[in-house]
Amino acid sequence: MITNMLRGAAAFCLALTPLALPSPTAGATAIATMVPAPDVLPLEDAVGRLPVVEEDRTGYTRDSFKHWNTGLDAADGCDTRDEVLLAEAVQEPAVAAGCKLSGGKWNSYYDGVEVGEADKLGIDHMVPLAEAWESGAVTWDAERREAYANDQGVAASLVAVTARTIRSKADQDPATWMPPLPEAHCRYIGEWTATKLRWGLAADQTEAEALKVYAEACETTVVHYSPAP
């Protein structure tokens, strides 16, 4: 069963950690040539790379982004949601047939809550689907939108957190919503910015101004991102 293979280590408050490549063998060299080296930027510089455009949600429906798909390994019965839960567990759950999870523990970094039941967690798209649509995904084809909605290439794209924080966040950007735990703010802004840069998404003026304010306060936060395939 696949857990952390493609998602990499979880990012913490001051940095988003890039994927580690295998040791330098012939096979690893071949892999390295296929994976773009991540850009590493201070948060303020990363925010400055986001194009600022007027956003328009016209035509958006959640069905425009197919999720959750069968994940990284269809044979194990786990879909993307299950794979994220397995990858982010701080205590591994038991996995029954059909990828039924029981036990285990997770830390919901948005609110600092420890959760012991998988069904009390939700999987948050760091940049919500509606926000992605209006900041660039409207021009994508269905295949790329599905890839976005199920992105396990980096840990920041999808995050297991309490369902109530996801409901509170809904489709809002950082101009109108931030995690309730203040200690999570720098990490959250770093991951939001990294996700937008990874997928070539823009920001609207109000969002961009909010990101700049947070970036000034998070002066030691570093963003690592690689463009999506």
Q: Is residue 202 included in any domain, yes or no?
A: yes
Q: Is residue 53 included in any domain, yes or no?
A: yes
pLDDT higher than threshold 90 for residue 23: no
Q: Is residue 219 included in any domain, yes or no?
A: yes
pLDDT, tens digit, 9 for 90 and up, residues 140-170: 999 999 999 999 999 999 999 999 999 999 9
Q: Is residue 90 included in any domain, yes or no?
A: no
Structure tokens at 133: 């649509």
Query: How would you class 192 by CB atoms within 10 Å of its CB: exposed for 0-12, middle for 13-18, buried for 19 or more?
Result: buried
pLDDT at 12: 35
CA-based torsion, 167, 129, 135, 18: positive or negative: positive
Q: Is residue 21 included in any domain, yes or no?
A: no
pLDDT higher than threshold 70 for residue 1: no
Q: What's the whole-number mean pLDDT along residues 93-104?
A: 93
Q: How far apart are CA 154 and CA 134, in angstroms?
A: 22
CB 157 within 8 A of CB 198: yes
Greater model confidence, 105 or 69: 105
pLDDT higher than threshold 70 for residue 109: yes
User: In the chain, what are the helix, strand and coil shares in percent, each to the nearest 5?
Assistant: 40, 15, 45
Domains in the chain, number:
1
Expressed as residue numbers, the domain containing 157 is 26-64+120-225
pLDDT, tens digit, 9 for 90 and up, residues 78-90: 999 999 999 999 9
